[in-house]
Structure 1
């Protein structure tokens, strides 16, 4: 009669075949994001590699997904310096409240002298809890309420920055160029949107009507306004642009005319004489336009 070894004994464990080897431990979340080698390449090849198609603003539809955390750099996502809303550390409370109210922001970078000398950020909650908005502001000083900012290079992968923001519990970063000047700004929301798409909060009001008439020959329109419907409103054809691509939205037409995402305040002319003024845009898309008809045109 043969005896079987104790399953817990070294002999029994050594007698186990290769088929019984335990499964390798699964790498952690950030190890999977930033790992290198064949496994990382294989994982990335199966994620978010969908062909781009026309989006509501006429640019290629963004490819959202986890692979963006490794593929995209800070410079691809940042808000450019010209569009940064900030405040001087020497400003008083009414000025600070006015900037918060006009911009709709809850965090503002604070600088001394110029934006190239940043000191930190101020949070709306800190101001409200300490001073309120209707009380006395004697002795007010922005310097006493500053929170730390992150300073990052434009070449940093956005996944690395997201991990750094999470670790340091900071929601805003300034992008610093090679000369030490401020090149742009990022929030944690900007990074997360590259993975899951645009995040709309309670301040982002969805407008039912994609355009409204401002006056004689002038309209305010969302970039997502259907081009054919807006042409009917104007009584003028705008889609006869010599290009192989078809566009379905007003923003797509403006993108096609300019060949890029135009900056806020830029005026893009149409061959018919119609002018498109960019009222609201970010580095990745057009949001809102003012349309001006040429004098004597139908409308």
Structure 2
């Protein structure tokens, strides 16, 4: 014979809480705010219910609900962009130096973005120079600064687009944001093409006779490699890495595109993460001035 109360039977069967657990949950009904929920996650880690990495990721998911594209975007002045009218060699130089996989392309001025160029598509011009670079462009996606990261991540996953141009309330270009920028709010820093193992090297020669230097390279190593004495202007200060030294000399955390001259070398910030410089583009000042 069928159960006359199937729904009630199912609920009673699934509820495996003890009487004491029910009393405890009645007295302490659980978190009713995000702050309390984050505190609960910390308690869960302390009680070995979840691991530290799981807690950090869960907190990231919770905090991300309050963030917008404007909070984590790369601001417009620091965007690496390509000019549609630039020579092929110049475009290739920007791609090599920055090592991004996608680039906004503009025509006439930086506010006029006409599409997105995949770095791998640029290789097609090597084999078929007669191709028009415009034919390689993909549509640019524009979003408002107020776009929530939760919604943006859903759209990134849905349309398989990994970069969006952020515009302000007046329709001007405010910056850009990638799926990596969003995911890093959850999982922390994501290793990319700049992040290599220490034993793979820290100073690399580039095609234009400049060098890419890791921010955590020792000052002694930089001095030896370039045959100069890179020392702090304040002799009482002691630094281990070139990134730490340059940040101290500049008096603030460097941003991409900023540069500083020290020890006869020009250090241009290529890439930053977590408040530290990951990569510099370095060249002797004489090269920057057109000599040598």
TM over 0.5: yes
- 2:101 corresponds in structure 1 to 106
> Any idea what the Cα deviations from partners look like across 1:31-90, whole Å, max 9, x if unmatched?
xxxxxx9275544444589xxxxxxxxxxxxx7743442244333432222232222344
Q: How far is the alpha carbon of 1:279 from its aligned partner?
A: 3.6
Note if contact 1:152-1:174 (Cα within 8 Å) is conserved in structure 2.
yes
Counterpart CA distance in 1 for 2:99 and 2:231 is 37
Q: Compared with structure 1, are the counterparts of its residues 8 and 40 closer, same or farther at alpha carbon in structure 2 (3 Å cutoff)?
A: farther
Q: How far is the alpha carbon of 1:278 from its aligned partner?
A: 4.9
Determine if the alignment matches structure 1 residue 116 to structure 2 residue 111.
yes
Q: How far is the alpha carbon of 1:137 from its aligned partner?
A: 0.9
Counterpart CA distance in 1 for 2:154 and 2:198 is 35
- 1:282 corresponds in structure 2 to 272
- Which structure's residues are more often helix, by fraction? 2
Counterpart CA distance in 2 for 1:21 and 1:119 is 57
Q: Compared with structure 1, are the counterparts of its residues 21 and 175 closer, same or farther at alpha carbon in structure 2 (3 Å cutoff)?
A: same
Counterpart CA distance in 1 for 2:72 and 2:88 is 31
Which secondary structure does the structure 1 equivalent of 2:105 belong to?
A: strand
Determine if the alignment matches structure 1 residue 79 to structure 2 residue 74.
yes
**Aligned partner of 1:260 among 252, 263, 267:** 252
Q: Compared with structure 1, are the counterparts of its residues 8 and 166 closer, same or farther at alpha carbon in structure 2 (3 Å cutoff)?
A: same
Counterpart CA distance in 1 for 2:187 and 2:90 is 35
User: How do 1:115-264 residues align onto structure 2 when only pairs under 5 Å count?
Assistant: 115-128=110-123, 131-137=124-130, 140-142=132-134, 144-202=135-193, 204-208=195-199, 222-225=214-217, 240=236, 249-252=241-244, 254-255=246-247, 258=250, 260-263=252-255, 264=257
Which structure: larger Rg? 1
Note if contact 1:69-1:159 (Cα within 8 Å) is conserved in structure 2.
yes
Counterpart CA distance in 1 for 2:42 and 2:202 is 30
> Any idea what the Cα deviations from partners look like across 1:200-246, whole Å, max 9, x if unmatched?
3456444546689xxxxxx996433468x78x9979786846xxxx9
Note if contact 1:265-1:278 (Cα within 8 Å) is conserved in structure 2.
yes
| Structure 1 vs Structure 2 CA RMSD | 4.6
User: How many residues are paired up?
Assistant: 241
Counterpart CA distance in 2 for 1:102 and 1:20 is 62
Counterpart CA distance in 1 for 2:71 and 2:146 is 9
Q: Compared with structure 1, are the counterparts of its residues 268 and 69 closer, same or farther at alpha carbon in structure 2 (3 Å cutoff)?
A: farther
Q: How far is the alpha carbon of 1:182 from its aligned partner?
A: 1.2
- 1:57 corresponds in structure 2 to none
Q: Which runs of 5+ in 1 are unaligned?
A: 1-5, 24-36, 50-62, 213-218, 293-299
Q: How far is the alpha carbon of 1:192 from its aligned partner?
A: 2.0
Note if contact 2:212-2:279 (Cα within 8 Å) is conserved in structure 1.
yes
Note if contact 2:81-2:103 (Cα within 8 Å) is conserved in structure 1.
yes
Q: Compared with structure 1, are the counterparts of its residues 239 and 210 closer, same or farther at alpha carbon in structure 2 (3 Å cutoff)?
A: farther
Which secondary structure does the structure 2 equivalent of 1:180 belong to?
A: coil
